[in-house]
Amino acid sequence: MIRRLTLPLKNDTKEPMSRIIAIGDVHGCLDELNDLLERVSPTPQDRIVFLGDLINRGPNSSGVLKRVRSMPNAISILGNHELRLLRYDRTQDAGSLRDSDKKTIKGLNKKDWQFLRYNLIPYYYAPEYETVFVHGGFAPGKPWYKQSAKTMCRTQVITPEGKAATRRECPDGTPWFDLWQGPPFVVYGHFRRTEVVEREYSIGIDTACIDGGHLTAYILPEKKIVQVPARMSYR
């Protein structure tokens, strides 16, 4: 059962409230993205929030970016994969690139790079739902909105010393969302699992499309989950 916020929604008109459609990590899976958009049928009034990692690992990163650019109501969050490519774009230092990064870079065109440079934001906050959308997560002990973009897009676990880290950096760390007490409610990706991860004040919707799982959308105000299966495992 998807937990609902207890705060009333702000809607002073009699018009139906537009939806927010959050979409988990796409990772270049254009066919699955098209399948999911067909299922959720967004309207021009809906906000579509992509939770980062639009690119890398999958078969068509450039195609995904082109599809997102074609949607005037799309909001794109910065993911750790975009962050790594933007660091390379700024420094031209290929030392931190992975094989999937190099493959993606070869397939990106001028419009793709312009989109990555100028259209990604670290988070999106919807006050009417008291909900924040982010790629990774938050560190404890500091207001979420004062944390760095790097923290927001990379955090997966909290170390025994109380610092934010990735699972690769601290395999035995505590998932950040197990410590998050809210508010706000957080909708996030980055922490790949075969199933949606629900907590009282958060929901994780990276459901491993790239590994043959599902691409997942979480829709407000209904608190509805919509999924499409991956066409195949791409890794």
Please name the residue that has the structure tokens 């676990």: 157
Digit-coded pLDDT (tens) for 182-230? 999 999 999 999 999 999 999 999 999 999 999 999 999 999 999 999 9
If DSSP codes are grouped into helix, strand and coil, which group holds residue 59?
coil
DSSP letter for 208, please.
B
Digit-coded pLDDT (tens) for 43-64? 999 999 999 999 999 999 999 9
Q: pTM higher than 0.75, yes or no?
A: yes
The whole-number average pLDDT for the span 109-137 is 98
The whole-number average pLDDT for the span 109-117 is 98
For residue 13, the model assigns a pLDDT of: 35
Please name the residue that has the structure tokens 């791409």: 234
The whole-number average pLDDT for the span 106-117 is 98
How many residues are listed for the chain in this entry? Answer: 235
The whole-number average pLDDT for the span 79-93 is 96
The CATH number of the domain covering residues in 20-135+183-229: 3.60.21.10
Confidence class for position 16, pLDDT limits 50, 70, 90:
low
Sort strands 20-23 and 214-220 into parallel, antiparallel or unpaired: antiparallel
User: 92-98 long-range CB contacts below 8 Å, 24 or more apart?
Assistant: none
Asked if residue 138 has pLDDT above 80, the reply is: yes
